[in-house]
């Protein structure tokens, strides 16, 4: 390579569906070959094939209902190891110089929180060196290594974060996320077919949508992109349709958004469980003790409500939502606290869904909560919990009403594609 004119590097990521079978792996290889032919070196992140991570988790749960988190990481990380090797082989078969890298080999160092590890540092040197000899570094998404050499994973959907972190470490402005939709929509287009595609979306709105259940990007990938100024281009693995650019909205545009578009998108999350704590003594320090125990167990709660059910009874009740796979840990963490403070019981209700509207102007636009609640109640859904912030309003409703309520709220804010409205 001519060192005075180093090749540009493109950072791209293909998700599970995009590498779901051998035919698709060949198509990904051909698409990446075209990028190499244009003169770039490629840092290519791939996810595990299809739903193979789900299959690995299901196998672990056949062995034991609560697999050890270190061992589960060891198992889940194998999914990406399969796909990086096959993608590298497919590229080599086409004559492209390619090599696979596990997360550790690609310089990903994380903390030790198995199952939801945070990236501490990405050392770009291994890839930089490799690009002197090869065209494509195929990097395993979703994994890293902690200070003790243990394999960790970054949380489900974490390959997006791998890709964005690589772009930041390599000093590349844009990270291209190829997936099975051709961009970010006003809501999941697989659930609401008349959802509209967004040309651009601001980091803050995308972060909120992702955190509230829009799986299209892993929340931490958006956080990373905002922190390091990486533009994310979400686009289709299967077509050349223009995608969605996730970036910082310029000030003027931001102001315009506040009047034109108070609601940017709607997110539905069916991956959370509601934890109910009832009959706890109503005294100072109870909530602190419960949430300290949850924190120690590595469980973070989202929506939290507390109220005294009856005036004559000085017992409190409290509910909050936690990610479904941490529900057992949450119950186990709360139970000894209740025993220590002398009363109360804790139970988990998985049949709930969280529906949220998101937009940077939500806090400054009156009337949105009323419109949202009216749409939810029109489909017969009872609102069990509510949480609001400057940029979102969320409700927890029974899971059985989730789909109808999503469609109704999307309609109520006029988010459908113009051509689809009569």
Residue nearest to Mg ion (CB): 157
User: Least distance from C-beta 217 to ligand ADP, angstroms?
Assistant: 8
Query: Is residue 111 within the footprint of ligand ADP (CB under 6 A)?
Result: no
User: Least distance from C-beta 75 to ligand ASP, angstroms?
Assistant: 12
For ligand ASP, which residue of 18, 47, 181, 407 counts as binding (CB under 6 A)? 47
Please give the order of strands across the beta sheet that includes 385-388. Answer: 265-269, 352-358, 392-398, 385-388
Q: How far is CA 310 from the centre of its chain?
A: 39
Torsion of CA 304, 192, 392, 182, to 10 degrees: 120
Q: Which is nearer to ligand ADP, 33 or 181 (CB)?
A: 181
Query: Is residue 156 within the footprint of ligand ASP (CB under 6 A)?
Result: yes
Query: Is residue 179 within the footprint of ligand ADP (CB under 6 A)?
Result: yes
Query: Is residue 101 within the footprint of ligand ASP (CB under 6 A)?
Result: no
Q: How far is CA 223 from the centre of its chain?
A: 11
What lies within 8 Å, CB to CB, of 169 at 6+ separation is: 107, 122, 123, 124
When CB distances are held under 5 to 8 angstroms depending on the partner's kind, the choice from ligand ADP, ligand ASP, Mg ion, none that residue 53 binds is ligand ASP
User: Least distance from C-beta 222 to ligand ADP, angstroms?
Assistant: 12
Taken in order 148, 116, 225, 174, the sign of the CA dihedral is positive
Exposed, middle or buried, 228 (CB in 10 Å: 0-12/13-18/19+)? middle
* 367: alpha, beta or left? (left if phi > 0; alpha if psi -120 to 50): left
Contact track, ligand ASP, 71-90, x by CB under 6 A: --------x-----------
Q: Which is nearer to ligand ASP, 141 or 243 (CB)?
A: 141
For ligand ASP, which residue of 12, 16, 195, 232 counts as binding (CB under 6 A)? 16
Contact track, Mg ion, 5-34, x by CB under 5 A: ----------x-------------------
Q: Which is nearer to ligand ASP, 82 or 383 (CB)?
A: 82
Exposed, middle or buried, 37 (CB in 10 Å: 0-12/13-18/19+)? exposed
* Phi, psi for residue 52 in degrees, rounded to 5: -65, -25
Q: How far is CA 272 from the centre of its chain?
A: 13
Q: Which of 232, 262, 198 is nearest to 391 (CA)?
A: 262
When CB distances are held under 5 to 8 angstroms depending on the partner's kind, the choice from ligand ADP, Mg ion, ligand ASP, none that residue 214 binds is ligand ADP
Q: Which is nearer to ligand ASP, 20 or 79 (CB)?
A: 79
Query: Is residue 219 within the footprint of ligand ASP (CB under 6 A)?
Result: no
Residue burial 200-211, b: 16+ Cβ < 10 Å; e: rest: ebbbbbbbbbbb
Q: Are 395 and 354 in contact (CB under 8 A)?
A: yes
How far is 280 from 17, CA to CA, in rounded Å?
A: 46
Q: Are 206 and 246 in contact (CB under 8 A)?
A: yes
Q: Which helix (H) or strand (E) holds 369?
A: helix 368-378
Q: Which is nearer to Mg ion, 163 or 393 (CB)?
A: 163
User: Least distance from C-beta 384 to ligand ADP, angstroms?
Assistant: 23
Contact track, ligand ASP, 103-142, x by CB under 6 A: --------------------------------------xx
The span of 130-138, 183-191, 332-340, 382-390 binding ligand ADP (CB under 6 A) equals 183-191
User: Least distance from C-beta 136 to ligand ASP, angstroms?
Assistant: 19
Contact track, Mg ion, 138-157, x by CB under 5 A: -------------------x
Exposed, middle or buried, 370 (CB in 10 Å: 0-12/13-18/19+)? exposed
Q: Which is nearer to Mg ion, 103 or 157 (CB)?
A: 157
Per CB under 6 A, residues contacting ligand ADP are 15-18, 47, 157, 179-181, 184-185, 187-190, 214-216, 265
Per CB under 5 A, residues contacting Mg ion are 15, 157
Per CB under 6 A, residues contacting ligand ASP are 15-16, 47-48, 53, 79, 141-142, 156-159
């Amino acid at each position: 390579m001519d060192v005075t004119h180093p090749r540009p590097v493109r950072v791209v990521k293909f998700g599970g569906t995009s590498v779901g079978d051998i035919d698709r792996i060949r198509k990904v290889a051909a698409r990446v070959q075209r990028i190499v032919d244009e003169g770039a070196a490629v840092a290519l992140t791939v996810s595990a094939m299809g739903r193979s991570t789900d299959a690995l988790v299901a196998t672990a749960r056949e062995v034991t209902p609560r697999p050890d988190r270190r061992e589960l990481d060891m198992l889940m990380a194998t999914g990406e190891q399969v796909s990086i090797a096959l993608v590298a082989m497919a590229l080599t078969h086409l004559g492209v110089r390619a090599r696979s890298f596990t997360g550790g080999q690609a310089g990903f160092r994380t903390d030790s929180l198995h199952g939801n590890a945070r990236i501490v540092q990405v050392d770009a040197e291994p890839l930089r060196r490799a690009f002197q000899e090869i065209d494509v570094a195929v990097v395993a998404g979703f994994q890293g290594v902690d200070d003790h050499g243990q394999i960790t994973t970054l949380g489900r959907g974490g390959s997006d974060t791998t890709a964005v972190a690589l772009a930041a470490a390599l000093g590349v402005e844009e990270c291209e996320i190829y997936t099975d939709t051709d961009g970010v929509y006003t809501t999941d287009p697989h659930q609401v077919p008349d959802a509209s595609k967004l040309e651009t979306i601001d980091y803050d709105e995308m972060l909120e949508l992702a955190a509230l259940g829009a799986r299209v990007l892993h929340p931490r990938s958006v956080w990373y992109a905002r922190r390091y100024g990486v533009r994310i281009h979400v686009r289709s693995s299967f077509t050349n349709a223009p995608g969605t650019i996730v970036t910082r909205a310029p000030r003027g545009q931001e102001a315009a958004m506040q009047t034109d578009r108070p609601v940017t998108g709607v997110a539905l999350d069916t991956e959370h469980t509601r934890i109910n704590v009832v009959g706890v003594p109503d005294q100072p320090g109870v909530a602190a003790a419960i949430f300290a125990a949850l924190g120690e167990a590595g469980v973070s709660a989202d929506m939290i409500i507390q109220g005294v059910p009856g005036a004559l009874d000085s017992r409190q009740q409290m509910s909050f939502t936690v990610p479904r796979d941490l529900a057992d840990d949450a119950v186990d963490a709360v139970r000894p606290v209740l025993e220590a403070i002398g009363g109360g019981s804790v139970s988990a209700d998985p049949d709930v869904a969280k529906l949220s509207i998101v937009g940077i102007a939500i806090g400054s636009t009156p009337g949105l909560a009323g419109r949202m609640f009216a749409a939810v109640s029109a489909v017969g859904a009872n609102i069990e919990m509510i949480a609001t912030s400057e940029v979102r309003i969320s409700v927890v409703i029974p899971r059985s009403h989730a789909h109808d309520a999503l469609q109704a709220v999307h309609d109520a804010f006029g988010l459908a594609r113009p051509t689809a409205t009569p």
